[in-house]
Structure 1
Amino acid sequence: MQSLWTLLNDPNMQWIFISCTLLGLSSGIIGCFSYLRKQSLMGDTLAHAALPGICIAFMLTGTKSLLLFLIGAAAAGIIATFGIGFVTRHSRIKHDAAMGIVLSGFFGLGIVLLTIIQHGSYGNQAGLDKFLFGQAAAMIGSDVLTMSIVSVILIAVCFLLFKQFKLISFDPGFARGIGYPVAFLEQLLMLLMVVAVVVGIQAVGVVLVAALLITPAVSARYWTHRLGAMVVLSGLFGAISGAAGTLISSTAANLPTGPLTVLAATALFFLSILFGPQKGLLAKQFIRLRVKRKLELDQSQLHAKARVAAAETEKGAAL
């Protein structure tokens, strides 16, 4: 505990801790709407599609700036989104298959570009491969500040447009009927997902960042049926995961922050499966036992009434 307190007093550690916590909070909130709209794989697709955008941004500028990487990865994510729509509209390929094609194609292109950078004459390219699995400790002050500001903006947008996002997630037809710009709101929600994926890449990595979008939302679903409570719980689970991953990785050398953050989110998911009051295994078992006991009690009462009725019938016959 003393060493943990010492780490938390370190200014660099405080910045990384706050940014990763905000990242988990914003990802968990946005992930709820992605999960409810059955677009869980979209986060993984956008994460893998962001890699070539990052590489191209570095090749054009020669600098490792999170803001520039954010612009490049967002552009690549938007192109991937339109690519998925183009494939599904102009062919018989289903949406999930189109996402798989775009995911593998963009990720393959990103690996090729990353290899070209590492074996080329590009300066300052050391550490660029850390975007595959993330390395929060490699973030500098400007990166942390950018990540924190973007995370706060994502949270604020979801808070201000909560009613609209809720409606298009459950009944887009009704939302369109009362005059909401459904197409714009859907594209805005997709853009927020792209930004959430991109801003978390350096901390969690391309391969694992989608877990921060989906795992907290799925965990929260086991605790409530109300969307408002689900969004709050999902953000809380994401924040706890980000904070736990940062703290655990700082306690020993060579422990990666991103994978530990995902493992923390997975641990919360298994706890939700077991102890969730709405859909948890223990809650279901408790409900099953309660129903079984009620049925047994009802049957015993029926048998008792039948015995009483039979006794009264015998008594009446004897008289």
Structure 2
Amino acid sequence: MELLISDYTLRTITLGTAILGAITGMLGSFAVLRKQSLLGDAISHAALPGIAIAFLITGIKDSHVLLLGALISGLIGTFWIRGIITKTHLKSDTALGLILSVFFGFGMLLLTFIQKQPNANQAGLDKYLFGQAATLVESDVWLMTIVTSICLIIMLLFWKEFKILLFDADYTKTLGFNTKTIDVLITCFIVLAIVLGLQTVGVVLMSAMLLAPAAAARQWTNSLSTMVILAAAFGAFSGVVGTAISASQNNLSTGPVIVIVASVFVLASFIFSPNRGLLFRQIRFIKNRHDLELHKTLSFMYRIAENHDNISHPHAIKILNNFHGFTKGTLQKLVDKNYVTLDGNMWSLTEQGYKTAANLYNQQSQEHE
């Protein structure tokens, strides 16, 4: 923390990764909910030839120029994907895989060509493959801030349209909204976010940065607005923590560490989220199983008790041994719920237990019918 406060370069990198995490998490929510998880991977790989071509044209390694080339290339790849899906019989996953492999292969070919040129200025372009957060400067952070602010303002202005399109595209058309324009707007924002992160996280890992915070946030809520806020928070926190861990150790690349931290959020969310988490799901499963055993035992007691005019007629506990689901723990729970009373080795149903058991028995009879 002291290093973060005193070191200007580290503060710049931390701020940049936090902003990047926030915008990718925010826009990644739309990609996840639209079932376009592979879109981030395809766009990030499609941006690589744009970086190489921008360098070949200008001969300089200015990050803004290279990212502009990446943006153009990413948009071309995105609209080619849309064209393949709409103009052919190919499914979206095939189109995404096709564009990803073709553009990435072309980009690697160009990078290899550039590396063999007698130009000392070409060194370092490969950082866009895996990212190099240490190259972030103040102007890059300002660019991220401006783009994030624009995305946020437009998202707030068109929030209703985005939300309706996300969950019911046909209904959006009936309301008179131009669904194609809204869809293109969301996609362009996702491309922008990916391109901004190439310098920090790189082509290979950028899709994880886009999807991990959103996937983690989805486990905690069913509300779109809450999910977007949580995803932005998870992304920003991953950026800050990942940068801090990377700065505290030698020879640790910041981008991969940020992705690992984001993945920890995903893993923790999959396990500990109250509604969808594996831990609470298992707890609910065990509770439901115990409740089922309790209800079956109570129904068995009811069938025994209904043979007597007096519902509180005592019966020996050993009779219950004939019932497969009976346990001493189950009997004690029935006593705790005031369904059953115990007197030594004898049990009897209470009035409350008889009424509850009668309802359960009738429900089971109707289900079997």
Secondary structure (helix, strand or coil) at the match of 2:309 reads helix
The correspondence of residues 292-311 of structure 1 with structure 2, limited to 5 A, is: 292-311=289-308
**Per-residue CA shift, 1:121-154, capped at 9, x if unaligned?**
3342221110000000022332232223223333
TM-score when scaled to structure 2? 0.81
Q: Which residue identity is paired with 2:290?
A: R
Identity among equivalent positions (%) equals 41
2:102 pairs with 1:105: yes
- Confirm or deny: 8 A CA contact 2:18 2:237 kept in the other structure: yes
The correspondence of residues 206-221 of structure 1 with structure 2, limited to 5 A, is: 206-221=203-218
- Confirm or deny: 8 A CA contact 1:135 1:258 kept in the other structure: yes
Q: Which has the higher contact order (CA 8 A, sep 6+)?
A: 1
Secondary structure (helix, strand or coil) at the match of 2:250 reads coil
Aligned to 1:186, which of 172, 183, 186?
Answer: 183
Distance, in Å, in 2 between the alignment partners of 1:88 and 1:302 is 57
2:262 pairs with 1:277: no
Q: Which residue identity is paired with 1:233?
A: L
Q: Residue in 1 aligned with 2:200? A: 203
- Confirm or deny: 8 A CA contact 2:12 2:136 kept in the other structure: no
Distance, in Å, in 1 between the alignment partners of 2:62 and 2:306 is 86
2:167 pairs with 1:170: yes
Secondary structure (helix, strand or coil) at the match of 1:202 reads coil
Distance, in Å, in 2 between the alignment partners of 1:37 and 1:177 is 20
Q: Residue in 2 aligned with 1:247? A: 244
Q: Which moved more, 1:78-87 or 1:228-237?
A: 78-87
Q: Residue in 1 aligned with 2:13? A: 16
CA drift of 1:299 comes to 2.1
TM-score when scaled to structure 1? 0.93
Q: Which residue identity is paired with 1:270?
A: L
CA drift of 1:5 comes to 1.4
- Confirm or deny: 8 A CA contact 1:30 1:158 kept in the other structure: no
Distance, in Å, in 2 between the alignment partners of 1:192 and 1:164 is 15
Structure 1, gaps ≥5 residues long: none
Q: Which residue identity is paired with 2:45?
A: H
Q: Residue in 2 aligned with 1:29? A: 26
**Per-residue CA shift, 1:100-137, capped at 9, x if unaligned?**
11101100111111112121133422211100000000
Distance, in Å, in 2 between the alignment partners of 1:275 and 1:208 is 25
2:57 pairs with 1:56: no
CA drift of 1:11 comes to 1.4
2:221 pairs with 1:229: no
Distance, in Å, in 1 between the alignment partners of 2:27 and 2:223 is 16
Q: Which moved more, 1:301-310 or 1:105-114?
A: 301-310
CA RMSD of aligned residues (A): 1.9
- Confirm or deny: 8 A CA contact 2:16 2:140 kept in the other structure: no
2:70 pairs with 1:73: yes
